[in-house]
Amino acid sequence: MPPSYCVKERKPCVRWVEKYFKDCLCNLKDEISFSFGLTSLVFWGVAEIPQIITIFRTKKSHGVSLVFLLTWVAGDICNLTGCILEPATLPTQYYTALLYTITTIVLLLLIVYYDYISRWYKHRQKVNLKRDHEEEKKPLKPPKPTSKSGIPIPNGTPKAAPRQEHYYMSARSLAGSGTPPWGTYMGAAKSGPAAMESINDSSSDNEAPPASSNNSATQAMPIPRSVAGSYGTFLAAAVNLPLRGNALREGYIGFGGRKLLQEYETHSTFGQWLGWLMAAIYISGRVPQIWLNIKRGSVEGLNPFMFVFALVANVTYVGSILVRTTEWERIKANMPWLLDAVICVALDFFIISQYIYYRCFQRREARDDHKEAGKAAAS
């Protein structure tokens, strides 16, 4: 590996920054730039925590736009790749990208859990309960004397062929309906001995032997398990990302692609393209959030601190790039990142204003309602 710029120039450098961030701080400007970069990293690290807490508390994610978060993830992927490919970007830019990709994935997983998995599970429980109730209310049907039911066989043993066929059909249809048969069985049991008799009677329509009930109950399980499995894989991939990213980055630095931010000959065209794509995705991603707030006429469920922190993080991010150098070549190479951050600051400012506006509006409305109610009570 060729010696870094810091070593070559024999300048007083900050060792731990060089070691852990692969960055070279040789003068005050570099140090201020790095401090800004670090501040941005910290703010991005905590930016999504307030929203995570809000969702945890309310068990709902209706305040934050899912499309907005999905654009964040899409932009993050372009950002990470762009940072790896474009040597003009700072190491803190890369680490920041890595950090917020992870936090956004955590936030998204939480939303998927509360909005889809948990809701689906509760809905299923409700449907099952309703069905149990209906089963309890249903009058017991007389057994149907069909050729398949097994009833017409006098002295029929449990091993008789029609009986077996009926058993398998019943289990399959029960599994298909998604109703745990044990619920039906228990429901019937609760209805009294007459119902129990009908269960034990092989010709009954409600027949659900415990064996098939277990079967069906476990058949319903693979759905959440498979969902959990796929998210597990997704998470595992996300956890692996930093290592791969580091390896790539170190490899890249090692081969002299990034000369520790001091000398630039070539810029990566692909990295630049990814940077512009990232900027377009990030910027357009704020629109669904702004629209959601307008559509609902409310900001309930949205934590403003996510945008306050994002605003600070974007401002310091811009600071970290601009303080490092005023050289046009470098600024030009960083243009997608700079422009994105600046526009996002403006958009975050707008979202925060929306928050203040709707909050004040709601409070005033509530106060008016209160006054009206007071007047009505007095008259």
Ligand X SMILES: NC(=[NH2+])NCCC[C@H](N)C(=O)O
Which residues are at the interface with ligand X (CB under 6 A)?
44, 72, 75-76, 100, 104, 282, 310, 314, 340-341, 344
Please state the closest distance from residue 242 (CB atom) to ligand X, in A: 15
| Beta partners for residue 259, in sequence order | 263
Please state the closest distance from residue 51 (CB atom) to ligand X, in A: 11
Please state the closest distance from residue 275 (CB atom) to ligand X, in A: 11
Distance between CA atoms of residues 126 and 143, nearest Å: 29
Decide if 181 contacts 212 (C-beta within 8 A).
Answer: yes
The residue (of 167 and 282) whose beta carbon lies closer to ligand X is 282
The residue (of 75 and 304) whose beta carbon lies closer to ligand X is 75
The residue (of 34 and 282) whose beta carbon lies closer to ligand X is 282
The residue (of 40 and 216) whose beta carbon lies closer to ligand X is 40
The residue (of 41 and 310) whose beta carbon lies closer to ligand X is 310
Q: 3-state SS string over the chain?
A: CCCCHHHHHCCCCCHHHHHHHCCCCCCHHHHHHHHHHHHHHHHHHHHCHHHHHHHHHHCCCCCCCHHHHHHHHHHHHHHHHHHHHCCCCCHHHHHHHHHHHHHHHHHHHHHHHHHHHHHHHHHHHHHHHHHHHHHHHCCCCCCCCCCCCCCCCCCCCCCCHHHHHHHHHHHHHHHHHCCCHHHHHHHHHHCCHHHHHHHHCCCCCCCCCHHHHHHHHHHHCHHHHHHHHHHHHHHHHHHHHHHHHHHHHHHHHHCCCCECCCECCCCCHHHHHHHHHHHHHHHHHHHHHHHHHHHHCCCCCCCHHHHHHHHHHHHHHHHHHHHHCCCHHHHHHCHHHHHHHHHHHHHHHHHHHHHHHHHHHHHHHHHHHHHHHHHHHHC
Q: Which residues does 245 contact at the CB level (< 8 Å), separation at least 6? A: 80, 84, 94, 98
Please state the closest distance from residue 75 (CB atom) to ligand X, in A: 6
The residue (of 111 and 344) whose beta carbon lies closer to ligand X is 344
Please state the closest distance from residue 310 (CB atom) to ligand X, in A: 5
Residue 259 sits at φ, ψ, to 5 deg, of: -90, 55
The residue (of 206 and 316) whose beta carbon lies closer to ligand X is 316
Please state the closest distance from residue 81 (CB atom) to ligand X, in A: 14
Please state the closest distance from residue 307 (CB atom) to ligand X, in A: 9
Count other Cβ atoms within 10 Å, centred on residue 341. Answer: 24
The residue (of 98 and 260) whose beta carbon lies closer to ligand X is 98
The residue (of 78 and 151) whose beta carbon lies closer to ligand X is 78
